[in-house]
Amino acid sequence: MIAGRYEVLNALGQGAMGEVVRVADHALEKEVIALKILYPKRARVASNVARFRREVLLARKLTHHNVVQVFDFGEADKGCYYISMEYIEGTSLAKWLQAPPSEQPTFQEVLYVLYQICGALHFAHGKGVIHRDLKPDNVLIDIHNIVKLTDFGVARLINDTQHLTAAGKSVGTVYYMAPEQFTGQEIDHRVDIYALGIMAYELVTGQRPFEHENIDGLATMHLTQALPNFKNPRFDVPSWYRSFVQHCVEKHPDHRFKSMAEAADKLAEHGSSYGIPPTEGDEEAQPAKVKAPQKINLMTLWRSIFS
């Protein structure tokens, strides 16, 4: 039991700062939720606890159907700090990418996932929140095939002057970090657009565009090397999609899409040409089946997500 109310059912995952477990909340009729627990050794550093608490403050600004709902921040015995949040029954985009070839996403499904990520981040950016660590591990897909963006542990407010990271220290996952994150320059929402492009490349090739055995070498690739050709794509990748990815990962942020809404607009512009038939205009976005997509009109979905 944690804090006298959360019964641990099983572990869900681990990271550098802590672990996530599935629990039954005995104070609320054993409702199943998730707890993100900060490792005790990490909790001895005050800035880690401050960042952990800050994740709750930022995530609470983001009530959106494509963002995991965060409930509370708490402290249990022996310096155990935790965040309670919505439990998502499903998988992560990272595990989806590792699935057998027969279970890999189709191009239509790739578009749908990217589209929902754009919606979640457009909403976050509108609230002044930059994710800063967008990667497949932080994109969950529930059993209804709805994307749920999670882990705002290194997120920050766009106009925030209270930095919890030492000067000159980069924050994020190096494979998906924008060039300006490596150099310690001031950043804005366009670092998330860069990460979106890296994931968009990976979704159709099964591999990241930049790989290196050490961080310095990887940083150099992000800073200086052009996006490589789409190596061994799993299906025919249309030229407009290649241009879309290239536009996301331009080295200078001024050359990228100006916003997630603009990126989504480009996806919607071409989506109907790739087997996505029109539907009746619903108020809410309709989920797509992973192996048997329902009828989805991306332009209708755009109006729903960005209204």
What domains, with CATH codes, occur in the chain? 6-85 (3.30.200.20), 90-306 (1.10.510.10)
Q: What is the pLDDT of residue 298?
A: 52
Using CA atoms, how far residue 261 sits from 125, 224, 249, 297, 302, in Å, is 10, 27, 16, 16, 8
Query: H or E stretch including 83?
Result: strand 81-85
Annotated active-site residue in 25, 77, 133, 160:
133
| Catalytic-residue membership of 133 | yes
Residues 6+ positions from 145 with CB-CB distance below 8 Å: 112, 287, 288, 289, 290
Q: What is the pLDDT of residue 300?
A: 52
Q: What is the pLDDT of residue 161?
A: 40
Residue 6 class from Cβ within 10 Å (0-12 exposed, 13-18 middle, 19+ buried)?
buried
Q: What is the pLDDT of residue 274?
A: 66
Q: Give, for all 307 residues of the chain, the pLDDT tens digit.
A: 999 999 999 999 887 788 999 999 999 999 999 999 998 888 888 888 888 888 888 888 888 999 999 999 999 877 789 999 999 999 999 998 998 888 888 898 899 899 999 999 999 999 989 998 999 999 999 998 899 999 875 555 555 444 334 333 444 578 999 999 988 888 899 999 999 999 999 999 999 999 988 888 999 999 999 999 998 888 889 999 999 999 999 999 999 999 999 999 899 888 777 644 333 333 333 333 333 334 445 555 455 545 4
Q: What is the pLDDT of residue 281?
A: 32
Q: How many residues would you count in the chain?
A: 307
DSSP string spanning 146-178?
-EEE---TT-EETT-----S-TT---S-GGG--
Q: State the DSSP code for 2.
A: B
Look at residues 141, 146, 143, 149 and name the one whose alpha carbon lies nearest to residue 122.
149
14: which strand partners? 19
Q: What is the pLDDT of residue 287?
A: 33
